[in-house]
C-alpha cells in the first residue's frame, strides 16, 4: 500500500469521525447537521476515488464504486438528493466503512513494521 493510499484512508476516517461528532450535536433533520454530514460524505467519496483498486479489493464487501458515485450525486445533483439516502449512508453504511478503513490502515502499519 502506498503512502498516498494511507493518506486517503486517513482522510476517510477523519470525515467519518467528523460526522459522528456532528451527530452528537443534533440529528440529520437539522439543516446545518445534514449539510455538514453531506459535505463530509463528499470528502469520503473523493478520497475513495483515489484509492488503488487492488487495495479496495481487499475489502470487497464495501461498495467502493457506489461511494464514489454518491460523491458525484451529492456534488452535481445536490438539489436532487434524497434525504433518506444520506440518512442511510450516515447511519447504516458508515460503521462498516469505518471498520474496513481501520483494517486497511492497520494492515499498512503492520507491513511497515
Closest CA relative to residue 94, chosen from 27, 18, 7, 29: 18
For residue 95, what pLDDT is reported?
Answer: 96
Residue at grid coordinates 492497520: 106
Residue 45: Cβ within 10 Å count:
23
For residue 8, what pLDDT is reported?
Answer: 96
Residue at grid coordinates 469521525: 17
Q: What is the secondary structure of 58-76 as a DSSP string?
A: GGTTS-HHHHHHHHHHHHH
Closest CA relative to residue 44, chosen from 62, 71, 26: 71
Q: The C-alpha cell of 33 is what?
A: 447537521
In tens digits, the chain (113 residues) has pLDDT values of 788 999 999 999 999 999 999 999 999 999 999 999 999 999 999 999 999 999 999 999 999 999 998 988 888 866 667 788 899 999 999 999 999 999 999 987 666 55
Query: Dihedrals φ, ψ of 81, to 5°?
Result: -85, 125
For residue 80, what pLDDT is reported?
Answer: 63
Amino acid at each position: 500500500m502506498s503512502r498516498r493510499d494511507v493518506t486517503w484512508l486517513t482522510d476517510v476516517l477523519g470525515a467519518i469521525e467528523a460526522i459522528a461528532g456532528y451527530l452528537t450535536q443534533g440529528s440529520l433533520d437539522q439543516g446545518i447537521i445534514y449539510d455538514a454530514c453531506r459535505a463530509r460524505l463528499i470528502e469520503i467519496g473523493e478520497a475513495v476515488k483515489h484509492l488503488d483498486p487492488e487495495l479496495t479489493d481487499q475489502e470487497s464487501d464495501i461498495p467502493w464504486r457506489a461511494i464514489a458515485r454518491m460523491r458525484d450525486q451529492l456534488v452535481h445533483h445536490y438539489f436532487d438528493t434524497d434525504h433518506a439516502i444520506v440518512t442511510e449512508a450516515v447511519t447504516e453504511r458508515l460503521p462498516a466503512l469505518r471498520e474496513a478503513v481501520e483494517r486497511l490502515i492497520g494492515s499498512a502499519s503492520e507491513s511497515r513494521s
